[in-house]
């Protein structure tokens, strides 16, 4: 019951609860690897990157929503798990 009330309150104020997982260097710079956070309803991955103040170019990042590689324009929904990591490189 408390969880349902918590979700309803978040919906009323326009926020959603998601889980964010950062990999590698991103986790080190952000100070966390795995965190539940409240974000604005309707936010997409690009907006989440700005919210997290990730300064690495988005084209160098890969995002997964609920274990599916996703575009930066993918809108995040209540309860989603978003993983962000740097694309591998070589040379």
Q: For residue 53, what is the domain's CATH number?
A: 3.10.20.30
The pLDDT of residue 89: 57
What pLDDT does 30 receive? Answer: 87
49 in a structural domain: yes
Count of residues making up the chain = 91
d(CA 49, CA 72): 9
Q: Note the pLDDT tens digit of each residue in 19-54.
A: 999 998 899 888 999 999 999 999 999 999 999 998
φ, ψ of residue 65 in degrees (nearest 5): -115, 120
Mean pLDDT of 44-67: 94
Residue 9: pLDDT band (50, 70, 90) is low
First to last CA, the chain: 54
Residues facing 37 on adjacent strands: 18
**What integer best gives the mean pLDDT of the chain?**
88
pLDDT score of 1: 57
pLDDT of residue 55: 85
Q: Is residue 53 part of a domain?
A: yes
Domain housing 11: 2-86
> CB of 70 within 8 A of CB of 47?
no
């Amino acid at each position: 019951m408390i969880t349902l009330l918590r979700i309803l309150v978040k919906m009323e104020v326009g926020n959603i609860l998601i889980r964010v997982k950062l990999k590698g260097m991103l986790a080190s710079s952000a100070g966390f690897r795995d965190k539940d956070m409240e974000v604005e309803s309707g936010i997409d991955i690009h907006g989440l990157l700005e919210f997290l103040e990730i300064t690495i170019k988005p084209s160098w990042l890969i995002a997964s929503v609920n274990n599916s590689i996703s575009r930066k324009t993918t809108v995040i929904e209540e309860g989603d798990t978003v993983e962000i990591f740097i694309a591998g490189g070589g040379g």
